[in-house]
Structure 1
Amino acid sequence: MNPAPSVIVFTVLSGMGFGYLAMLGFGLVPVAGWAAFFGWGLGYGLAVAGLVASTFHLGNPQRALLAFTQWRTSWLSREGWAAVLTLVLLAPQALSDWLVLDWWRGFGCLGAVMCFVTVGCTSMIYAQIKAVPRWNHWIVPVQFLWAALTGGLVLAGAGLVPAAASALLAALLVLGWRIGDGRFAAVGATLGSATGLGAIGSVAVFEQPHTGGNYLLREMIYVVGRKHAERLRKIGLLAVGFVPAAALLFLPPLLAVPVAALSHLAGMAAARWLFFAEAEHVVGLYYGQR
């Protein structure tokens, strides 16, 4: 799949933003006054910036509101509703923390749960696509949810817990790559099954369907070189796992959190780029690309 920058920014920023909002909603980050203003502002800023970035991948961004009407069948629509509900539920808690009103924390806790519901809906946009075997697996929602949790813990403060979460996220990335590398073969998709002609013999491409480019070739058939993929995997593992864990354990807290957070964002950007670039759509079989 074509790794569109807008979707990468969306999944990386919104994941970390909703993860941090969940930490604030549950009260795991004790903030009050102006510290709360900037803390909640950071969480809302990351989440909203990611959601806004996602609209740039739409063919007609001005019609984004129409997506909310398809909640019965579309995970994208469900994600939109979940995101709006989450941000609304967390608003009273953010106001209470900022103005030190000591309101009941129920809305904050419910909003924190909805943060992960929102991220889960985001993951299902991809995990439910059977035409992309690498995505159509339980490991995808697990990775999205754990990445959001890890991002939130990293922003919440230094210590053993966020360091361990970062190390586990790196392990989940490795597991996802191992599973994903064999998914296309595991589902048994071939040119014969794609055309429905496999029962009568071996099927091969005689001639390309057309002589010019089209949307499918541009968006659905993207080939990343093995060397580039291996290099980005190493960068992602170091930036997501080793650097944040080391920073959170050994650097002073005031320095550890920004270093770990920036490293996490960079590592997740590399991992998300690979998430799309390595995704093989079965339509490529028609063009002899798989």
Structure 2
Amino acid sequence: MHPAPSVILFTTFSGLGFGLLFWLGLGQPAPTGWVAFAFFALAYAMAVGGLLASTFHLGHPERAYLAVTQWRTSWLSREAIAAIATLLTGGVFALLRIWDISAAPLGWLVSLGCLATVFTTAMIYTQMRTVPRWRHWTTPALFLALSLAGGAILANRGSAALVLLALAAVLQLVAWITGDMRLQQSGTTLGTATGLGDIGRVRAFLPPHSGSNYLLREFVYVVGRRHALQLRAIGLILAFGVPIPLIAAGLGHITALVAVLAHIAGVLCLRWLFFAQAEHVVGLYYGKR
């Protein structure tokens, strides 16, 4: 799949924003006054900024509001509804915390909404039968783990961050190891796509056409194995290898900033690979897989 910057920014920063909002909803931490304002402003800047970035990948961004009408069949619509409900509820909760008014049950509802929003985001990709690499339980599990881990770092929840970062690293490795063979294991070939597989081995005599088209630009993106391995190593080091020892040693102002920036850079790298390495089955028709 084409790794569009808009969807990379969307999945990275909306996950971080809702992850931080999750911990704030649980009262971990439980700031008040201007400190609470700063925490909630950061969470909303990331969550809302990420959601807005996603609209730049739409052909008609002005029609984005129509997404909420298809909730019966569309995970994108369910995500939009969950995000709006969570952000509105979170806004009320934020005002109460700024004024030092206890509202624990409302905070728990906000945290539940954050989990639902991140889960529905992940399911947009998990439900795609045409991308076998994504259609696996590791996709929603990894989205949730990275969101909660990033939020824990931003909320300075040291012990939780360590556990969640380690869990996310393991999930990422499992997703890569199992995902690399998933297209081959799916049994989808040019023969099954054309219905001619019973006759014998099917191959294209000539390319479908001489120039590029929308399908090739959006659904057929090929990244070299060597570059993929290098980017995987960079992503793992930045997202997990740098923050974990810093958090274990105890965060100061400088080390906290380094841990946050390294984690964000690493997740951006991992998200780029998430899209770039997603082999859409339409690539078989063009001889790209």
Q: Displacement, 1:251?
A: 4.5
**Structure 2: how far apart are the matches of 1:131 and 1:159?**
39
Q: How does 1:43-192 map to 2 (within 5 A)?
A: 43-102=43-102, 104-157=103-156, 159-192=158-191
**8 Å CA contact 2:149, 2:160 repeated in 1:** no
**8 Å CA contact 2:221, 2:276 repeated in 1:** yes
1:231 correspondence with 2:230: yes
- Give per-residue Cα distances to partners, 1:16-44, cap 9 Å, x unaligned: 10000000011111211100000010001
Q: What secondary structure does 2:12 align onto?
A: helix
* Residues 249 and 64 of structure 1: CA distance in aligned 2, closer, same or farther (over 3 Å): same
Give the corresponding residue for 2:31. 31
Q: Displacement, 1:204?
A: 0.6
Output the TM-score relative to the length of structure 2.
0.97
Q: Displacement, 1:76?
A: 0.5
**8 Å CA contact 2:152, 2:158 repeated in 1:** no
Q: What secondary structure does 1:56 align onto?
A: helix
Identical columns (%): 52
How large is the Cα RMSD of the aligned pairs? 1.1
Q: What secondary structure does 1:240 align onto?
A: helix
Q: Displacement, 1:50?
A: 0.2
Tell me which amino acid in the other structure corresponds to 1:109: W
Give the corresponding residue for 2:275. 276
1:204 correspondence with 2:203: yes
**Structure 2: how far apart are the matches of 1:98 and 1:29?**
13
Output the TM-score relative to the length of structure 1.
0.97
Q: What secondary structure does 1:176 align onto?
A: helix
Q: Which runs of 5+ in 1 are unaligned?
A: none
**Structure 2: how far apart are the matches of 1:252 and 1:150?**
15
Name the stretch that deviates more: 163-172 or 200-209. 163-172
**Structure 2: how far apart are the matches of 1:115 and 1:159?**
20
Give the corresponding residue for 2:19. 19
**8 Å CA contact 1:158, 1:256 repeated in 2:** no
**8 Å CA contact 2:145, 2:165 repeated in 1:** no
Q: Which runs of 5+ in 2 are unaligned?
A: none
**Structure 2: how far apart are the matches of 1:159 and 1:216?**
44
**Structure 2: how far apart are the matches of 1:243 and 1:26?**
27
Kindly tell me the number of residue pairs found equivalent between the two proteins: 289
Q: Displacement, 1:226?
A: 1.0
Tell me which amino acid in the other structure corresponds to 1:224: V
Name the stretch that deviates more: 159-168 or 260-269. 159-168
1:195 correspondence with 2:194: yes
Moved over 6 A (4+): none
